[in-house]
Structure 1
Amino acid sequence: MISQSGPQRYISDNEAYDQLPGFMASLNVKNVLFLHGTKSLAAAKPYLPEWPAEFNVTDVQFNGECSFEEIDRVKAIADENNAEMVIGLGGGKVLDTAKSVTTGTHRYLVLIPTLASNCSPWSAISVHYKENGEHIGHEIYNETANLTLLNPKVILNSPIEYFVAGIGDTLAKYYESELIFQKLPEDQYTVALTISRQMANNCREVLMKYAEQAVEDMKAGRLTPEWRQVAETVTVMAGTVGGWGDDYGRASGAHAIHDALTIFPQTAPHLHGAKVAYGILVLLAIEGKTDELKRLLPFYRTLNLPTNLADVDLADASDADIDKLAATAADPHTQMHFVPTDEPVTAEVTKQAIMTVEAITAETATATK
């Protein structure tokens, strides 16, 4: 087991970005590649310091997907400009691309999240997609970021749907790892695994306690302690689960459902964390935990997280479509194989779980009317 706790340096403050020029100077870098999206740069620009004259900064617009084509494009620009540091500013796909560009090189890595939608700012993982948004896989790197900067004001003013999706993605940290930890013999527990499990428990506790209030605070533009707790749980605490726990705390069944959903183009408008949230419900059905599934539904409905196929634009899915979804999620090469059930999670088991979720959500929706 390999534990990577997080970035070498982390600063969370309304003036966090002001640390950047001094950090660059302390490393004696001269050539910097700055990778960002259009919206992310517009959100962060009021807080970004001017680039000092002694630095040569190559500005690179992100193309939208953390694909191998995009990684190769940015790498070529970095090579051409002798970049000694890559700064990634934006959402998870921008940050994952920056990680993929610097891994295995001499280049320093700085990550500046502008959304609280996943744990990419903290983790040593990049998730890769095709140019059309279809999931390919992920890679775990030997390196973590040299510096991660989080400005709460920037994230507070980001689109609310990304924040809600981040809550869904982070909730999976608990539900994907808990059965693994439950089945782990006590004599195999290390301090690292104890930290990982505690952080997974904390993720669920913080979200169930504060998430609804945090969403209301964000809608009202209030930077409250509750909102900040949730935002940093999504970006920081979530990353420590897999960082300390390795395969014991990594993504499993819920993410396998997300990955399978990406093969259906109609699900593309739904964010990563929202699809993972739906995957949690399917995972609970696979594990036979339908009581817990039912307990989560009011929370999901308050936050407008997807609870069934219709909510991810698969209301018209045919039986063949559901077979395809189930078979893709249950493929032996997916993260579904991390689910420690007594019997293998086959395509048929996964399909039955999907149909169980459909039945329970229909039943509970009728009961609440």
Structure 2
Amino acid sequence: MISQSGPQRYISDNKAYDELPGFMNKLKVRTVLFLHGEKSLAAAQPYLPAWPDDVKVVDVPFGGECSFEEIDRVKAIADENDVDMVIGLGGGKVLDTSKSVTTGTHRYLVLIPTLASNCSPWSAISVHYKETGEHINHNIYLETANLMLLNPKVILNSPIEYFVAGIGDTLAKFYESELIFEQLPEDQYTVALTISRQMANNCKAVLLKNSIGAVADMKAGRLTPRWRQIAETIIVMAGTVGGWGDDYGRASGAHAIHDALTIFPATAPHLHGAKVAYGILVLLAIENKVDDIRNLLPFYHKLGLPTNLADLNLGGIADSDIEKIATAAADPSTQMHFVPTEEPITAEVVKNAMLTVEDVTAAVEE
């Protein structure tokens, strides 16, 4: 088991970005590749310090997907300009692309999240997609970021749907690891696994207690301790689950459902965390925890997270299409294989679980 706890240095403060020039100076950085989303840059710009006069900045707008084509494009620009540091500013796909560009090189990596939508800023993982948005795979790297800067004011003013999706993605940290930890013999618990499990439990407890209020705070533009706790739970606490727990705390069944859903373009408008949230329900059905599904539904409804196929723009899809999702999710190459069940999780098991979710959610809504 390998633990990677997170960035080498993490700063969360309304003036966090001000640390950047001094950090570059101490590392004697002379050329920076600045990869960013356009909307993210506009949001962060009022808080960004001036670039040092002795640093050349290569400005690179993000292409839109963390695809191998985009990674190769950015790598070529970095090589051409003999870049010392890559700064990624934006959402998870920008940050994952930045990680993919710097891994295995001499280049320093700085991550500046402008959304609280997942734990990408904390993790050493990049998730790769086709240019169409269909999931390909994920890679776990040897390195973590040299520096991660979080400005709560920037994230508070980000689109609310990303924050809600982040809550869904982070809730999965508990449900995807719970059964794994439950079945782990006590004599195999290391301190790292104890930290991982505690953080997974904390994710669930904090989110279920404070998410509804935090969303209300965000809608009202209030930077409250409650809102900040949820934002940092999504980015930091969630990242420590897999960071400390390795395969015991990694994404599993709910993310396998998400990945399979990306086959269908109709689901593209729904963010990563929203699809993962639906995947939690399917995972619980696979584990025969129907009462847990019922208990979560009021929380999902208050936040607007998807609870069935119709909510994912797949209402009325053919039985063969449900089988296609189930087959993709149950493939041995997916993260579904992390789910510890007595019998293998087949496409039929996943399909039946999806239909169970349909029945349970329909009964609740009647």
| TM-score normalized with structure 1 length | 0.99
Partner of 1:33, secondary structure, is: strand
Distance in 2, matches of 1:89 and 1:38, equals 10
Q: Would you say 1:7 and 2:32 are equivalent positions? A: no
CA distance in 2, matches of 1:84, 1:204: 39
Matches within 5 A, 1:1-369: 1-366=1-366
Deviations 1:232-279 (A, max 9, x none): 000000000000000000000000000000000100000000000000
| Counterpart secondary structure, 1:99 | helix
Cα distance in 2 for residues equivalent to 1:164 and 1:298: 15
Amino acid in structure 1 at the alignment position of 2:326: A
Could you list the runs of 5+ residues in structure 1 that have no partner in the other structure? none
Write the distance in 2 (CA, Å) between the matches of 1:82 and 1:21.
Answer: 19
SS state of the match for residue 311, structure 2? helix
Cα distance in structure 1, aligned partners of 2:197 and 2:66: 29
SS in 1 for 2:5: coil
The superposition leaves residues 14-57 of structure 1 with CA deviations (integer Å, 9 ceiling, x where unpaired) of 00000000000000010000000100000000000011111000
Deviation at 1:365, TM superposition (A): 0.6
Quote how far apart the aligned CAs of 1:308 are.
Answer: 0.1
One-letter amino acid of the counterpart of residue 74, structure 2: V
Number of aligned residue pairs: 366
Distance in 2 between residues matched to 1:314 and 1:305, nearest whole Å: 15
Per the TM alignment, residue 77 of structure 1 is displaced from its structure 2 partner at its CA by 0.2
SS of residue in 1 equivalent to 2:270: coil
Q: Read off the aligned partner of 2:166 and give its amino acid letter.
A: G
Amino acid corresponding to residue 292 of structure 1 in structure 2: D
Q: Deviations over 1:189-238 (max 9, x none)?
A: 00000000000000000000100000000000000000000000000000
One-letter code aligned to 1:362:
A
Structure 1 Cα separation of the partners of residues 343 and 295 of structure 2: 25
For 2:180 and 2:308, the matched residues in 1 are separated by 25
**How well do the aligned residues superpose, as a CA RMSD in angstroms?**
0.3
| Letter aligned with residue 146 of structure 2 | N
Q: For residue 342 of structure 1, report the CA deviation from its aligned partner.
A: 1.2
Distance 2:216 2:30 in 1: 43
Separation in structure 1 between the aligned mates of residue 79 and residue 279 of structure 2, nearest angstrom: 40
Q: CA deviation at 1:316?
A: 2.3
**What percentage of aligned pairs have identical amino acids?**
80
Give the structure-2-normalised TM-score.
1.00
How far apart are the structure 2 equivalents of 1:2 and 1:350?
Answer: 30
Q: Residue 20 of structure 1: SS of its match in structure 2?
A: helix
Distance 2:244 2:65 in 1: 28
Cα distance in structure 1, aligned partners of 2:164 and 2:309: 18
Counterpart of 1:44, as a letter, is A
> Which whole-Å CA distance do the structure 2 matches of 1:268 and 1:72 have between them?
24
Instruction: Please give the alpha-carbon distance, in whole angstroms, between the structure 1 residues aligned to 2:343 and 2:296.
Output: 25
For residues 308-347 of structure 1, the C-alpha deviation after alignment (integer angstroms, 9 at most, x for no partner) is 0000000021000001010000001100010001111100
| Partner SS state of residue 250, structure 2 | coil
Task: Give the Cα separation in 1 of the matches to 2:78 and 2:303.
Answer: 41
Letter in 2 for 1:358: E
3-state DSSP of counterpart to 2:143? coil
